[in-house]
Amino acid sequence: MALNLVTWNINSVRIRVDHVKRIVGELQPDVLCLQETKTRDEFFPREAAEALGFKHMLVHGMKSYNGVAILSKLPLSKPRNESWCGKEDCRHIIAELPGGIEVHNVYVPAGGDIPDPEVNDKFAHKLRFLDEMTGWFKGRRVSKKPMILVGDLNIAPLETDVWSHKQLVKIVSHTPVEVEKLLKLQDSAKFVDAMRHFIPPEEKLFTWWSYRNNDWKVSDRGRRLDHIWVTPVLKDRLAGMAVHKSARDWEVTSDHVPVLIRLYDE
């Protein structure tokens, strides 16, 4: 048996409940991690999730913005959330799967439009968020613990993670300072980039295409903003990965697409 885990920035779970059903049918996730659920916990569509087999849920949301959720067919233990930069803005939740695998579902702030923390508070928030998370993981010294970190990290680190490095190097999500801080976060627990474990860094790899693209497939001006990382103890258990690009064509869909990772059992 293998574990199928899917991460997706759903961009409003209440609007896209039917898409969750479609993901379950097409990708068969045991665990589904959602970002930007955009709803308070009491309005989360729990009954619909339970009907799809997700009997175990960790939901942490707020009205209209942000929000993260872990939906699981397997029992979840030690559920909790972390807050960064003194904000209770529902961006990081944690739970353990059977066998002790700790799942982190994270939604990093987008950072606004101007890549200057002196004039853009949103960008400053993004950089502080990454710094605080990095310090937290370093302090825990958890590189030997089985962990999976997934989510919309809102940074495309490699030149091949964007459609044009030259045109985007000064655009928020691909600036050198963001990439540097993301790599420090990755190094804080010696995380392995599970997506690039399967797709060589020389190849283009995207998970997000702007709504502004009239024909996203023709222009293919994408970015890899969604990530899956695992700690080294899980590297040899990586069995497969898929970017579900067809979801970008669904009606009233998110501008992000689901990403699946498959892990072998021990």
pLDDT at 67 over 90: yes
Count the domains in the chain: 1
| pLDDT single digits (tens) 103-135 | 999 999 999 999 999 999 999 999 999 999 999
State the residue range of the domain holding 34.
Answer: 2-264
Is it the case that residue 68 has pLDDT exceeding 90?
Answer: yes
Q: 139: pLDDT confidence band, cut at 50, 70 and 90?
A: confident
The CATH code of the domain that includes 257 is: 3.60.10.10
Cβ atoms of 107 and 151 closer than 8 Å:
yes
pLDDT of residue 144: 82
- Number of CB atoms found within 10 A of residue 182's CB: 19
Amino acid present at 64: S
Give pLDDT tens digits for 164-185: 999 999 999 999 999 999 999 9
pLDDT of 1 > 80? The answer is no
- Return the number of other C-beta atoms located less than 10 Å from residue 214's C-beta: 7
In whole numbers, what is the pLDDT of the chain averaged over residues? 97
Q: What pTM value is reported for the model?
A: 0.97
> What are the distances in angstroms from CA 12 to CA 53, 87, 89, 104, 221?
20, 21, 15, 20, 23
Position 254 pLDDT exceeds 80: yes
Q: How confident is the model at residue 75 (pLDDT cuts 50, 70, 90)?
A: very high
Q: What per-residue string of b and e applies to 185-209 under the rule 16 or more CB within 10 Å gives b? A: bbebbbbbbbbbeeeeeeeebbbbb
